[in-house]
Amino acid sequence: MRKFKCIVFKIKSLVLPSLICMFILFLLVFSKNNLAAAKSGLSLWANSVLPSLLPFFIATELLGYTNVIPMCGKLLNRFMRPIFNVPGEGAFALLMGIISGYPVGAKIVANLKENKLCNKVEAERLIAFTNNSGPLFIVGTVGIGLFYNSSIGLILFFTHLLSCLTVGFLFRWWGKSKEKHFRDATYSIENNSLAFCNLGEVLSKSIISSINTILMIGGFVVLFSIIISMLNTSHILHVLSSHVLSVLHIPEELSLSLLTGFIEVTNGLSFICELSSLSISFKLVICSFVLGFGGFSVLLQVLSITSKANISIKPYFVGKLLQAFFAAFYTYLII
């Protein structure tokens, strides 16, 4: 038994190094396609992600130095506590996460915990439903850009919002056994008040912190653009879709789009919309499912943010899976 455990441990310790070596090999073998994918990912980040998210990051960082978030907490605690079992300050993370999209909600939840406006269990509940895709992406990119119909975008955004609130309500019971440990904790807010005398210093800190986060997101966008290019060029995605997912009796074209969507949401949605064999209603249900999950690219972005704040990624992963199924179900009901 001990020898078996040693063998399993050795195999696990070799998995990541083997994957990294394979990644480097594929970088060399498929260098031409990888270069085009990297340029495409960098262009997407520079033209879409950077201008849309950086202002939100700076604004939310600045608000952390004011009394706006504690004031929201006092006003909205009567709603957030009975419905979601989180402090009222969580409403700010929910609202900004919905308005601005990934991964603003996760960043705000991490800031709330670091500023001691919520404890670890409450942060885990919040992270499960406050990090969502924004209306600019769902209505603009998906609805108008892919389906050429703003009404479709509004339907997808409504079901996305409704599913995230459903997950938030279900997660009000998350961590009940651990909650006793934090029940008597007192939250203390550091005195970092924003004033004209320290505006320059606070603004500099906010910009530096926001740029670090946006550069991290850019790295993930480029990396996953290359990974998807590698998987397509090497036909690994086709092999998985034709053999592994055939067990579930899913058509190859659809399974390929779903796999791509699980890796990176934008490419997956684009592939789904191009499938001529599917009806528009079925495409909406599948797109709603992919939007609800968000993809492993976003999951790793969230992990890089939450790990610094000592927040478990498990509730986020479980919450996004639930949100995917609820979003697809609600879309089906509306159709």
Mean pLDDT of the chain: 82
Query: CA 126, CA 131: separation in Å to the nearest integer?
Result: 8
Name residue 102's amino acid.
Y
Give the span between the Cα atoms of 35 and 246, in whole angstroms.
32
Higher pLDDT, 3 or 166: 166
| Domain assignments of the chain as residue spans, ordered by start | 26-174+191-334
pTM: 0.81
Q: Directed axis angle between helix 150-170 and helix 90-100, to 10°?
A: 160
Please state, in angstroms and rounded to a whole number, the distance separating the CA atoms of residues 88 and 91: 6
Instruction: Give the separation between CA 89 and CA 226, rounded to whole angstroms.
Output: 38
**How far, in Å, are 233, 235, 238 from residue 27 at the CA level?**
11, 15, 19
Contacts 24+ apart (CB under 8 A), 287-290: 287/142, 287/156, 288/156, 288/159, 288/160, 288/327, 288/328, 288/330, 288/331, 289/324, 289/325, 289/327, 289/328, 290/258, 290/261, 290/262, 290/265, 290/324
Q: What is the mean pLDDT of residues 184-189?
A: 46
Quote the CA–CA distance of 24 and 6 in Å, as a whole number. 28
The tens digit of pLDDT for each residue in 51-70 reads 877 887 888 778 777 777 77
Among the residues of the chain, which ranges form H helices?
A: 2-29, 31-44, 50-63, 68-84, 90-100, 104-114, 120-127, 135, 150-170, 179-182, 199-233, 236-239, 252-263, 265-273, 280-293, 295-306, 314-334
- The token duo for 240 is 């998985």
pLDDT confidence tier of residue 243, bands split at 50, 70 and 90: low
pLDDT at 289 over 50: yes
- Return the SS3 of 85: coil
Express each pLDDT in 200-238 by its tens digit: 788 888 899 889 888 888 888 888 888 888 888 888 877
Select, from the ranges 17-31, 200-214, 229-243, 317-331, the one with the highest average predicted confidence (pLDDT): 317-331
CA angle 21, 27, 28 (to 5 degrees): 95
Mention every residue, 6+ apart, whose C-beta is less than 8 A from residue 111. 60, 61, 64
The pLDDT of residue 293: 93
pLDDT of res. 156: 94
pLDDT digits (tens, 9 = 90+) for 99-145: 877 888 898 899 888 888 888 999 999 999 999 988 888 888 888 88
Give the number of other CB atoms < 10 A from CB of residue 239: 11
Cα-Cα-Cα-Cα dihedral of 211, 215, 218, 222, to 10°? 160
- State the first-to-last Cα distance of the chain, in angstroms, to the nearest integer: 55
pLDDT band at 185 (very low <50, low <70, confident <90, very high): very low
